[in-house]
Amino acid sequence: MTVRYTRDHEWIRLEGDIATIGISDYAQEQLGDVVYVELPEIGKTLEKGGEAAVVESVKAASEIFAPAAGEVVEINAVLNDEPGTVNESPEDKGWFMKIKVANAGDVASLMDAAAYKAFLETL
């Protein structure tokens, strides 16, 4: 189970052909206190790089982009009532959605943890 990262600070964890998607710890720190998360509908087809969700914080609203193409198979409904979970546990309990990945190559092409850490140091 490998976690990969995008330049937009989303993470994706692939298990078989199902991938869990969320935002990185860096992203939640930049956003500040998350007050609302708009999740996609189950069954929605996401395009790689297309809008997948919206997260609103006390500072700003930000689009969350799909790190890979696929169909939404599950959403983290906890975020509807407890959006602050994104701040408390961004890379675990604060996940946004799970998708059935159309092409595993989408995930393989993203940054691994070491590359993402190096990328953060350039910001």
Return the beta strands (E) in 33-94 as ranges. 34-38, 45-46, 51-57, 61-65, 70-75
Domains of the chain from N-terminus onward = 2-120 (2.40.50.100)
What is the pLDDT at residue 72? 98
- Over residues 85-101, the mean pLDDT reads 98
- Cβ(19)–Cβ(106) below 8 Å: no
Euclidean distance between CA atoms 26 and 63, whole angstroms: 15
- pLDDT value at position 2? 84
Place of tokens 């078989």: 16
In the predicted structure, residue 1 carries a pLDDT above the cut 80: no
